[in-house]
Amino acid sequence: MPITRELSTNANQQLRFALLGPPQAWSGEACLELGPVREQALLAALLLRPGRTVSRQQLLDGVWGTQPPGTGARVIPVYVHRLRRRLDAPGKGLEDSVITTVRGGYRFVPRSACVDVARWEEITAEGRSARNSGDLDAAVGAWSKALGLFRGEPLAGVPGPFAESERLRLAEHRLVLVQDKVDCQLRLGRHHEAVGELFSLTATHPYNEALAALLMRALCAGNRQADALDVYATVRRRLVGEQGVEPGAELRRVHEAVLRGDDAFFLGTTARQGRTMAQPAKQPTEPRHLGPAHHRRRVRHELPVEIGNFTGRDRELELLVAPAEARVVTVRAVDGMAGVGKTALVVRAARKLSDQYPDGCLFVELHGHREDRETVGQQRVLRRLLRAVDAGEGEDFEDRDELAASWRAATAPLRLLLVLDDASCAEQVRPLLPAGSGSMVLMTSRQRLTGVDADRRISLSPLDIDEATGLLTRIVGGQGSAREHVAIRELATLCDRLPLALRIVGARIQDRPLWAVEALAARLTDDERRLDELTVEDRSVEVAFQISYSQLPVAEQRAFRALGLLPTVQLDRLALAAMLGWTPSDAEQTLQSLADANLVQQVTAHRYRLHDLMAVYARRVAAAFPDEVAAARSGVFRLYVAAARCSSDWGTSSSPAGPQGTGPFADWEEAVTWLDATGGELVDVIGQAAAVGHLDEACWIAEGLVDYLTRQGRFHECRTALEIVLPMAGQATDRRMDSALRTGLGIMYGLQGRYQQARLWFAEALDISRRAGDPHEQARAAAGLGTFANLEGRIAESMSHFAEVIRLAGKLERDDWLTGSIMSRAGDMHHQLGEYDKAYDRYTEAIDLADRTGSPRLLGKTLLRLGSLQLGLGRPTEAVRTLGRAEDLARRLGDVPLYSAVLGRLSTAEANLGNPEAAAELRRRSRAVLDEQTGTESEIAIRHRLIWHGAAVEDLAGARDFFERATALPGTGANHARISRALDDLGRRRRPSADGT
């Protein structure tokens, strides 16, 4: 069906997406095919987070939930590639795609695209603005237009947890919008337009009391009081009989208004005009707590002036103003870092709620985070509150408990709205809570006050970038040019989207020319000056942060300073423990305390981050403690050294210099999991280590990460990491780095099939290590040259290099990985020449060494070779056991080529055992593993690595005479003829098999 024109008002917009129904997309007037539902789910996860980076793990969790595909997050680039092919115009490069690859994940960049959800939110906001300004007709018109964008259930048919949560969110917002629209229609006297829609909605949502209340109001407006009472009776019967609860306060109030015939309650001004002339106005009734003998007390409304240009926070506002239980005192708490806009939010909410609290709205500044907060005692606050409710006779007590008791007695008959701003602790708040049923308390604090019972807790984060840009734009004004928009958006980013910082910057540049805006943005990019620039008169971001920091215990202050020195955006307890020399459990407890104080943000169950401006402040404070800075940086960089080496198949035995051992990691899987959580920030770690003078650690991390990054196909990151430190390797104290880093580049290029570049780097590494007299690095470089020379078919050169490796093997005192690798390839040689017992022995020795060193890839590859040998000997049952172990390793490693090769050999084993169905399924899985990588940059590398895993056997057989000369193996003469035949055959057949045989 053609998309409604409301989706786009810009003729230049080429792409249009519709998610408020079954997903659809158009390019111009052509409808686009969006592919399978999983790809649609991934597209929706990006479209509904416009301009935001979505990590691969977020996409994986959002699309597959608790049942991810066997290849894990590696399927994400495949889906993104397919979506780009469908959505991007022909000839567009990646830089122009609507889906861009960024550090840490992917991002939907709207460019000239339009999404109906964004348009719906835009029209909805226009309606709210019209309502707030008093133009109810315009609000109804805008909201009717917004509701018209829905074409059915949002994201219909799209699977996954993210789509389900968005479906519920959009459906809920749609329902709230209908309620808001109907409320305006009733206030305008247009009840006849709303009745039919409300009857339909109450049938669909039989327990929704807000809809029932609106329907009763609409019926009363049409002189259908009896029908309205029937609606109440039906809803009450349903709630009591099926849920065991009475109707809430709002529905009861509407019911009472219907019984009283209170037109003022359920009719708008327009609707009442026709009745005012004919009916005398009803006399106001006494408040429920006052009898005729009581004097009418003065009702106070103390809410401060609402801040101008309030932006965003729609979801939070809805939570704060939601209906409350009438029989209890409701407490709602808002916490967040300094300057995030807590007070502005609760004041906005209090103003929306004020009509529901006839006994007054009180506002108390507790100054919990001011340097002079000790002077604002609870007795003083309680006395002021008592005076506010005309209970001054109770303020004569000196004892706090007596004052609190007087306050509870005075408020017992009242229904109050009380705002407690900037509380420091639960103890400060508890005595101030009123006692009247139906009263509400809204409180703010920089900390999570879990010691106060609250029915809702809201933790505020900075605004999103669009909201922050909009707020700053409204403060600044301006011409709205594209250049100005870019400058203001950059300023919003540099302010970390923090409302306090945005308002300070806005005040500084109001009515200034564009060049002044750009100049301020340039100054804010300098971390040394940023906090100084975010100050105007008595408002300062740094002062706000300093007060929060000064109230921390000494240990938490030290931890906060260390967090500013982190080389990554996120951290966990291991990183903080390494920086401070603490135990992980102590570090976790401190991080939780800092999160409760809203000085760090808890991103997941075990990961945390500092907001950008808070990190700038933490670094500034840390600069006064140079010894702490040096120790913290050394600790965290050495943690990354341990993780990189432990995750590498080479193990720690291949790294004779630098910190030894595996650090806090029990095995390679723990190290891999920890590095995976770091995401795309590993290159940043290396860059920062080099920048702050920890050059050795930078080189060791880069060297150790070669295996980890290449087996995941992250070749660009691997190359970047090595190229950062290679120009500085000559300045490192570990002289081995000149050769080791070049060997790493050789491995990286070779695994991509770029053999010429690999050969150049290996040759440089070999030359350097020979001149340095380093047998360890010489053997590694020679092994690399020999391996990739085999794959190119340069047999003589390959044999020469392997002979050198064997001669050097005796000089390697502790490199068990390299020795195991040599044993594994010697087993290949014996296998090819039919010497199966010797092959079995060499494979067994290599497996023992790989087990001892904790080298999962060497172990997996050797198990693959041993399983192939067992298949060739007609022992498929043994092969299944061996290959099953290899399969488990390959899957845990995420090594696609090894996994595919193992599945192929398992298929052969099952076929030999007479299980054709199992064999067919294994072949299908083997192909599917590779198909998920089709079209990606790593496809060529995968094909070449399959050759290395399974087919280098034939090439290595040609090196037998060199192996025998180097190791003086017996029986050399008897094998000369066989070796010659193998070499001749290899010369004719230069294309090895890729199935692992």
Structure tokens at 265: 């309650």
- The pLDDT of residue 740 is 93
Instruction: Please state the length of the chain.
Output: 997
Q: Comparing 495-509, 510-524, 684-698, 882-896, which segment has the lowest mean pLDDT?
A: 510-524
Closest CA to 758 of 781, 776, 779, 774: 781
Give CA separation, 805 vs 57, 459, 777, 859, 964, in Å: 41, 61, 10, 20, 13
620-623, long-range: CB within 8 Å, 24+ apart, which pairs? 620/531, 620/542, 620/564, 621/549, 621/560, 621/561, 621/564, 622/561, 622/562, 622/564, 622/565
> Residue 374, class by beta-carbon neighbours within 10 Å (0-12 exposed, 13-18 middle, 19+ buried)?
exposed
- The pLDDT of residue 249 is 78
Residue 412 has pLDDT above 60, yes or no: yes
- The pLDDT of residue 274 is 38
User: CA 684, CA 569: separation in Å to the nearest integer?
Assistant: 10
Q: How confident is the model at residue 511 (pLDDT cuts 50, 70, 90)?
A: low
| Bigger pLDDT: 401 vs 372 | 401
- The pLDDT of residue 935 is 36
- The pLDDT of residue 266 is 59
Residue 405 has pLDDT above 70, yes or no: yes
- Count CA atoms within 13 Å of residue 762 on its CB side: 25
- The pLDDT of residue 946 is 41
- The pLDDT of residue 331 is 93
Structure tokens at 941: 């590398």
CB 636 within 8 A of CB 660: no
- The pLDDT of residue 961 is 38
CB 648 within 8 A of CB 630: no
Residue 553 has pLDDT above 50, yes or no: yes
User: In this predicted model, what pLDDT tens digit does every residue of 876-919 receive, in sequence order?
Assistant: 999 999 999 998 888 887 777 788 888 888 988 888 988 888 88
User: In this predicted model, what pLDDT tens digit does every residue of 655-673 receive, in sequence order?
Assistant: 667 677 778 988 888 888 8
User: CA 193, CA 592: separation in Å to the nearest integer?
Assistant: 53
Using alpha carbons only, what angle is made at residue 717 by residues 711 and 718, rounded to the nearest 5 degrees? 60
Q: How confident is the model at residue 291 (pLDDT cuts 50, 70, 90)?
A: very low
CA dihedral 66, 70, 76, 80 (to 10 degrees): -120
Closest CA to 584 of 456, 670, 687, 510: 670
Residue 972 has pLDDT above 50, yes or no: no
- The pLDDT of residue 522 is 81
Q: How confident is the model at residue 374 (pLDDT cuts 50, 70, 90)?
A: very low
Residue 641 has pLDDT above 60, yes or no: yes
User: In this predicted model, what pLDDT tens digit does every residue of 440-452 receive, in sequence order?
Assistant: 999 999 888 888 8
Q: Comparing 98-102, 372-376, 483-487, which segment has the lowest mean pLDDT?
A: 372-376
User: In this predicted model, what pLDDT tens digit does every residue of 50-97 receive, in sequence order?
Assistant: 878 888 888 888 888 888 887 677 788 888 888 888 888 776 766 678
- The pLDDT of residue 922 is 86
> Residue 762, class by beta-carbon neighbours within 10 Å (0-12 exposed, 13-18 middle, 19+ buried)?
buried
Using alpha carbons only, what angle is made at residue 335 by residues 329 and 338, rounded to the nearest 5 degrees? 145
Q: Comparing 280-294, 532-546, 561-575, 668-682, which segment has the lowest mean pLDDT?
A: 280-294
- The pLDDT of residue 518 is 78
- The pLDDT of residue 930 is 62
Average pLDDT over residues 728-757: 90
| Bigger pLDDT: 321 vs 288 | 321
CB 715 within 8 A of CB 752: yes
Give DSSP secondary structure letters for 52-110: S-EEHHHHHHHHHTTS--TTGGGGHHHHHHHHHHHHSPTT--GGGSSEEEETTEEEE--
* The residue to which tokens 């090439």 are assigned: 955
Residue 495 has pLDDT above 90, yes or no: no
Considering the chain, what percentage of its residues have pLDDT values greater than 70?
A: 82
Q: How confident is the model at residue 769 (pLDDT cuts 50, 70, 90)?
A: very high
Q: How confident is the model at residue 478 (pLDDT cuts 50, 70, 90)?
A: low
User: CA 993, CA 997: separation in Å to the nearest integer?
Assistant: 7
Using alpha carbons only, what angle is made at residue 798 by residues 793 and 801, rounded to the nearest 5 degrees? 165
Q: How confident is the model at residue 767 (pLDDT cuts 50, 70, 90)?
A: very high
| Bigger pLDDT: 266 vs 675 | 675
Average pLDDT over residues 937-942: 40
SS3 assignment, position 441: strand
Q: How confident is the model at residue 863 (pLDDT cuts 50, 70, 90)?
A: very high
User: In this predicted model, what pLDDT tens digit does every residue of 139-157 receive, in sequence order?
Assistant: 889 988 988 898 888 988 8
Closest CA to 388 of 327, 434, 320, 329: 434
Instruction: Please enumerate in sequence order all residues whose Cβ is within 8 A of that of 433, keeping only pairs 6 or more positions apart, or say none.
Output: 329, 331, 418, 441
| Bigger pLDDT: 53 vs 764 | 764
Kindly report the backbone phi and psi dihedral angles of residue 771, in degrees, each rounded to the nearest multiple of 5, phi listed first.
-65, -30
Residue 995 has pLDDT above 60, yes or no: no
User: CA 401, CA 378: separation in Å to the nearest integer?
Assistant: 10
Residue 257 has pLDDT above 60, yes or no: yes
Average pLDDT over residues 433-458: 89
Give whichever of 280-294, 913-927, 977-991 has the largest mean pLDDT.
913-927
User: CA 753, CA 286: separation in Å to the nearest integer?
Assistant: 88
Give CA separation, 857 vs 707, 843, 947, in Å: 10, 14, 15
Give whichever of 235-244, 369-378, 637-646, 939-948 has the largest mean pLDDT.
637-646
